[in-house]
Every structure is written in structure tokens, then in C-alpha cells.
Chain A
């Protein structure tokens, strides 16, 4: 695969081994991620989705192959690639507002601008009312909103999310998904998200990369053409879209193949 000129991220022949090389978590994966595209990594657990995402974040190194962001090789983590984890990572000793300011402080944004932007971003994630609360006073969904705002505050070119709503209950997850649609519309970032929720993947993504395990490889790489480039502020509108059910059924079929192949 040759890198496309408009690719924000390029992964070339990326392999990641563990246990002294005896276990291959990700095997020879090559992918291009065009600018402003939303990609979902889907697949059975243990197929290397998290490993792939962490290598793009720079939290882990490929054993072989290379990853670059706008042509620059990834040599470690950096604020150009914001990451949102499944675990709640808002700092408990900072208020919601201070958490959002933290990332901006790290990259040297001045105090006045920091405050102003943090307040605006908290509004954007519907958390303006809780600016002065500590994370211990917030629910799981609210903590994730803080983490999202904190990441966006650094204005990263790439947004990486590893099952960001996986620990939330169904109703909160739904609210978060609809909020993500708003954010994707406003921020127009290149997004890669890992999810095990097939509906979530179809709702949020423009493209789904389906992984297979043992070793972790790409099974299918599909563009969700049926959406016609539209994003649906309300999730039920997506379900009514012709073609939706075919995609969902297809993904379930692939997932079953994976489960049955052990």
C-alpha cells in the first residue's frame, strides 16, 4: 500500500510482538488514515486493536514497521495525538476546569486564554455547570467528558479513543455517542476509535477496520457508503437509514466467524 498524499496517519507493515517475540499481537498491518476521517477498529477481544492504537499514540513501539503522522515518524507520545482511555484519567486533584486547563498548560498556553478556552470546551461537552467539581464528585460519563474536553483543549490533529464509553451504562453511552457526533462535526479531526459495540462503530465512524486475532490482522476494511457522508445528530435516524441493517448484519456475521474460529 502506498501512502496517500492526504493521509494524516500512515502505518506501514506494523508488527508488534510480545513475550520475547513468541506472541504476535499485531501482524504486518498497513493502513492509511485520511485527514478528518473517523475510523472504528472493531474485532474480537485480543485481536490487537488497543495495541495498534497505543502504537499510533506512541505509548508502545512497533517491533517491525513504522508509523508516521503527517510524514513525521512516531517516536513517542505527543500532544499532536490526543488519547482518551477507557479508564477514567481525569486527575482527581484538579477540578474539571483545572483538568481541561492542564493539557494547555503543558503546551505553554497563557493563563487567560487557557481559562477562556477551558470554559468554552466544558460547555461543548455539556459540563459547564460542573466546572468546579472534583472528579470524585462526578459520574463516569462526566469524567469521560472532562477527559474529552482536556484532550480537545490541546487541539490535537488526531483523536485516539480506546473504548471510551465501554464502562458506561447504556443510556449514558448513547448520550456520549450523540455528543461525539457534535464534536466530530465541530472539530473535524482525524479520529480513530476502538470499540466492541457494533452499533456505536456504525453510528460514529465513516470507516470500519475489522480485525481478526491470532495473529492480529485486518480482516475487512469498509467505508460506510450507505450514510452518504451524513452524520446523524440523533441515533434513531441512523437506524432508519436504508442499508444500515445490512452493515450491522455483516459485522455480526464477521464477529461470529471470529468467535467460532476460537
Chain B
């Protein structure tokens, strides 16, 4: 058979294949780009993902040799421990103290970061003055402040609040500066041509326009604040979720440690939801229209 015969044969095969599937349909793919899922699907996927996680955990628990199983307690055991802590060990008081520490320190950070970020975002010379000295701090891990804060404040509540504050403030300023600078310049120019003064523009235009993005930044940064909580409550703390976890660690009570982790996770999700609701309620004009 000559090479030209082979080529002809190939062509015939291609044509034949084309005839076998005359009607072409768009392929149904599991992973499809640019395809949104509706809220029902989102819920189903979410439950599936969580179920898979707990199943893996459960399997891990039973695969662990009998004698060391208490180092990987089952999910229902951890949930049970959490409930027992609440009922018998007044755990909600510790939760309350941790919640207060995160929220109060974050509130103080917000009250400072929002005006500062907006101010720097509006006036480039103020940005040039303040930002260089401020941005370097972001590269220092918050934990490195612990010795200093202990010397300054002792093993007090103030020391914990200060650590949580330092953990987020520099990032918060940087994010809010970005949010402010992202405001369309044409909005400011429109206000200028209408005769608005600087104050009216900073408060009434730039801050207003940036506010949904700012609330988003706050929502993301409060998650970071939760991640610092255990660090803040590990050293010289008598109360709070982190302190409970530390004490449990000394007696190798893994179930209590995991119950603490679970509690922080739940609280973190709740603060996230709170910020989402806040944004929904504060910015009716910014609600995404669902397709």
C-alpha cells in the first residue's frame, strides 16, 4: 500500500466518524467555566463538602490504632465535648471573653484605620508622609510583639487587646487605602464641578463610594483577628478560648483542644455572616442583581 492510499483511508475514516454522530451537542461538563450555580445548588455542594470532610475525619478516627484514638477523637465526640464544656465548665464565659477581645480590639483598629486609610487615599501628600513608615510594620509577625507587650502591660487584658490590635491594624490601613484609591476619579471630578468642597467630597463622595469595599475589607480582616486569638490567649491568660485550649493541652485532652478549634471556627463564620448582613443592610444600592 502506498503512502497516498493510507492518507485516503484516513480521510474516509474521518468522514465515516462524522456520519456516525450527525447531531453535535454541547458537552455537559462537570467543571464548566463562567457558569454560575444557583442558591439551591450552592447549598447542596456546601453540605456535600462538609459531609465529605466529617466522613474523612470519622474514617481517620477508626483507622487510628485503638490505644492512640484519644488523640484523634471522632467528630461526634468533639461536639459532645463542646456541649459538655458549655453545660459543666461554663465555657460560654470564656467564649464571651474571647468574643469581647476580638470585637473590642477590632473596633478600635477600625476606628483608627478607616479615617486614616480614607485620608491617605484622598490626599497623596499625606499618603507619602504616613504610608512608608506604616507599611513596614506589616512584615513583623504580631507574635513578635508579645515580649514587649508583656513588659509594658503585664499579663493583663490590655496586653491581649493590644496584640490583637497590632495584628490587624497595619493590614487594615493598607486595605482601606486601596479601597479609597479605587474610587472612580470621575465621581470626584463631577462633585468638584458641582461646587462641592473638600470635606463634602471626602465624606460624601469618596468615603461613600468606597464603603462597600471597606466593609468587605473589615470582614476579611476580622478573620485574621480570630487567627491571632489563640496566640494572644496562650501566653499568660487565665480565661478565653485559647487559655482553655492551652490548659487542655497540658493534660493531653485533645477532645477539648478540638472543641476549642471548633468553637473558634463557628464564631469566625458567625462574624463573617454578621458583616455580610451589615453590608446587605447598609448598601441597598450595591446589592448584586441575581441573574
Residues of A near any B CB (own CB < 8 A): 57-59, 76-79, 81-83, 85, 87, 89, 91-94, 102-103, 106-107, 134-137, 147, 150-151, 154
Contacts and interface: CB of A to CB of B under 8 A. Distances in A.
A136 B208 CA distance: 15
B192 A77 contact: yes
Given A92-B286, A93-B283, A93-B285, A87 B184 contact: yes
B220 interface: no
B209 A92 contact: yes
28 contacts: A57-B193, A76-B192, A77-B192, A78-B195, A79-B194, A81-B193, A82-B194, A83-B189, A85-B189, A87-B184, A89-B184, A89-B186, A89-B190, A91-B205, A92-B209, A93-B209, A93-B283, A93-B285, A94-B285, A102-B194, A103-B195, A106-B196, A106-B200, A107-B194, A107-B195, A136-B285, A136-B289, A147-B190
B187 interface: yes
Given A91-B208, A92-B285, A136-B286, A77 B195 contact: yes
Contacts of B196: 106
A81 B195 CA distance: 9
A154 B194 contact: yes
A59 B194 contact: no
A84 to B, nearest CB: 9
A137 B200 CA distance: 25
A93 B208 contact: yes
B193 A82 contact: yes
Say what secondary structure dominates the interface of chain B: helix
Contacts of B285: 92-94, 134-136
Given A57-B193, A79-B194, A136-B286, 11 more contacts: A79-B193, A83-B193, A87-B186, A91-B187, A94-B285, A106-B191, A106-B195, A106-B200, A107-B194, A107-B195, A154-B194
Nearest to A107: B195
Interface of B: 184, 186-187, 189-196, 200, 205, 208-209, 211, 283-286, 289
Contacts of B208: 91, 93
A103 B194 contact: yes
Nearest to A147: B190
Contacts of B193: 57-59, 77-79, 81-83
Contacts of A87: 184, 186
Given A93-B209, A106-B200, A107-B195, A83 B286 contact: no
Contact of A89 (B187, B195, B284, B286): B187
Nearest to A90: B190
Contacts of B283: 93
B145 to A, nearest CB: 38
The 9 closest A-B pairs by CB, nearest first: A89-B190, A79-B195, A83-B193, A87-B186, A134-B285, A77-B192, A103-B194, A77-B193, A93-B285
A91 B184 contact: no
A143 to B, nearest CB: 12
A94 B194 CA distance: 16
A79 B191 CA distance: 9
Nearest to B185: A87
A20 B122 CA distance: 24
A135 B287 CA distance: 12
Contacts of B211: 93
Nearest to A94: B285
Contacts of A134: 284-285
A154 B190 CA distance: 13
Contact of A85 (B190, B200, B286): B190
A148 to B, nearest CB: 12
B209 A91 contact: yes
A107 B289 CA distance: 34
A112 to B, nearest CB: 20
A93 B279 CA distance: 13
Contacts of A78: 193, 195
A82 B200 CA distance: 18
Nearest to A79: B195
Contacts of B189: 59, 77, 83, 85, 89
B200 to A, nearest CB: 7
Nearest to B190: A89
B273 to A, nearest CB: 23
